[in-house]
Amino acid sequence: MNLTDPNLLKRHAYIDGNWQRSNSTFPVVNPATNELIADVSDLSEVEAEAAVIAAHIALPNWSAKSASERSKLLNKWFQLMMLHQNDLAILLTSEQGKPLAEAKGEIAYGAGYIEWFAEEAKRVYGDTIPAPSNDKRIVVIKQPVGVVTAITPWNFPNAMIARKAAAALAAGCTFVVRPASQTPLSALAMAELAERAGIPPGVFNVIVGTDAQGIGKVLTQHKLVAKFTFTGSTPVGKKLLAQCAARVKKVSMELGGNAPFIVFDDADIDAAVDGVIASKYRNAGQTCVCTNRIFVQHSVLKTFAFKLAAAVDKLNLGNGLNENVDIGPLINEQAAHDVHSLVTESVQAGATVVLGGTAPVDNFYKPTILSNVTNEMAIAQNEIFGPVSALIGFQTEQEVIELANATEFGLAAYFYSRDIGRVWRVSEALEYGMVGINEGIISNPAAPFGGIKQSGFGREGSKYGLEDYLNIKYLCMGALNN
């Protein structure tokens, strides 16, 4: 791998400011070529516990720093990430597969949360509340929850960590993360830069290892852990939530989605096509806020499908490290196989292939469009997690709102309309945590990212993002008239 700064390729866990090795290792491979990138130390629950203890020991000094001191260190970390944006992007594309331009975008996006929370650290305000009697005063202060642990997925190996760690550290918490075993290198590079930024030992720890369950038990159940935060699938999230119940941990969950994308007959069709390209085909369709079901009003369905096919046909599939590639490989062969199964099952159930639909080659899946899909088909009720558009026709606004909400998920939704009345009605009726209106890219550090229903709870980014890492303490001062 050709890095300007080869020291950013780390192979061992980062615990208490030390690079911790293990005799056993696991391979990290490039999904575009299946070539080995690095053998990484395979650590266990023993080292996970050591990381939690290190975070516990580091907590008093870190939380005692002034907001301004923590802010300066976070800002330095942000600057180093942006300084090394190219190398971090090469590492990210190599282990995850997304095109290099998207990987650079993810580094800037992730770093943006660190910059944002470096500022928010200074705005942890409390309250004074009028008391029910004159001899009392009610004061509310906010304090860091304590040691925070996290488990993150492979689809955004940098940003899913940055979103959590930035808020936790800004609030005065210390942090232990276990990244997905397919993509540990981006997390370890973040640790290297945290160290260079001067973030003290024990404040930011990365435990790497293939024993997801064993390490996960420590991170969800250890008595020194105050809060657990997870990004990943809903089934795994439910298991981890149950584990957290044993010690009543504070929890936040960023889980799966099934985003509807609605195109009304009054929409700007070209803008809607651009919106689908951005929200469906980014990261080869492997994002939690990916458009999953595209509802198009019957009168514009033909035009929309034609224009979408023309745009999708131009997307280049290939190794994300090469130039002019729009769509990289899926994360592994199983993922490509699963996407193709959903497509063939839909066709057997009556869907029509407009574009693509061919069997995967290695981990690559050709961008695909299906029409005549129904909301009951498996492809409309499961996260596709691949570059496949599923078009569903509809007649009325009321009908499409019911269809859009007929899912257990509630993360992101999108719709295109130029009717101001409809914009308000539909925005309020959609049962989702986030709604893009004439917009396919909705996530940024200033906005509260998160879902409802089985897409989870808690928010990342914005002023609300800090709240998940703070305890509210109420002080009641009495006998003031004596």
Footprint on this chain of ligand NAP (rule: CB under 6 A): 151-156, 160, 180-182, 212-213, 216, 231-233, 236, 239-240, 254-257, 288, 383, 411, 451
Q: Which residues are catalytic?
A: 254, 288
Which lies closer to ligand NAP via its Cβ, residue 246 or residue 475?
A: 246
The 8-class DSSP code of residue 91 comes to H
Nearer to ligand NAP, 110 or 232 (CB): 232
Which tokens hold the place of 159? 């940003």
Q: Cβ(166)–Cβ(70) under 8 Å?
A: no
In Å, what is the CA distance from 315 to each residue of 276, 284, 364? 13, 11, 13
Amino acid at 32: A
- Comparing CB distances to ligand NAP, the nearer of 8 and 335 is 335
Q: At what angle do helices 85-96 and 67-83 cross, to 10 degrees?
A: 70
Amino acid letter, 43: L
Cα distance between residue 356 and residue 244, in whole Å: 43
Closest to ligand NAP by CB, 197 or 342: 342
Cβ(148)–Cβ(175) below 8 Å? yes
Torsion 329-330-332-338 (CA) sign = negative
Judged by beta carbon, residue 221 or residue 405, the one nearer ligand NAP is 221
Long-range contact set of residues 86-90: C-beta below 8 Å, sequence gap at least 24: 86/4, 87/3, 87/4, 87/5, 87/8, 87/189, 88/8, 88/158, 88/186, 88/189, 90/1, 90/2, 90/3, 90/321
Shortest Cβ distance from residue 456 to ligand NAP (Å)? 6
Of 210 and 405, which has the nearer Cβ to ligand NAP? 210
d(CA 112, CA 447) in angstroms, rounded, equals 12
> Of the two residues 26 and 394, which places its CB atom closer to ligand NAP in the complex?
26
Choose between 80 and 208: whose C-beta lies nearer to ligand NAP.
Answer: 208
The DSSP-derived string for 205-239 is EE---S-HHHHHHHHHH-TTEEEEEEES-HHHHHH
Return the residue nearest ligand NAP (CB atom).
216
Minimum separation from the CB atom of position 175 to ligand NAP (A):
15
Sign of CA dihedral 382, 385, 389, 394: positive
Q: How many CB atoms lie within 10 A of CB 395?
A: 10
Q: What is the DSSP string of 120-154?
A: HGGG---EEE--SSTT-EEEEEEEE--EEEEE--S
To ligand NAP, the closest distance from the beta carbon of 243 in angstroms equals 8
Nearest distance in Å: CB 172, ligand NAP: 24
Q: How far is the CB of 235 from ligand NAP (least distance, A)?
A: 7
In contact, 8 and 75? CB cutoff 8 Å: no
430 in Cβ contact with 397 (< 8 Å): no
What minimum distance in Å lies between the beta carbon of 160 and ligand NAP?
6
For the CB of residue 241, give the shortest distance to ligand NAP in the complex, in Å: 11
Beta-carbon neighbour count of residue 477 at 10 Å?
Answer: 11
Least Å distance, CB 449 to ligand NAP, is: 6
Indicate the residue among 267 and 442 with the shorter CB distance to ligand NAP.
442
d(CA 393, CA 402): 13
State the minimum distance, in angstroms, from the CB of residue 117 to ligand NAP: 16
CA distances from 287 to 5, 202, 209 (A): 29, 31, 23
- Integer angstrom CA distances of residue 48 from 38, 166, 179, 247, 293: 21, 21, 12, 18, 39
Six token digits for residue 233: 């699938």
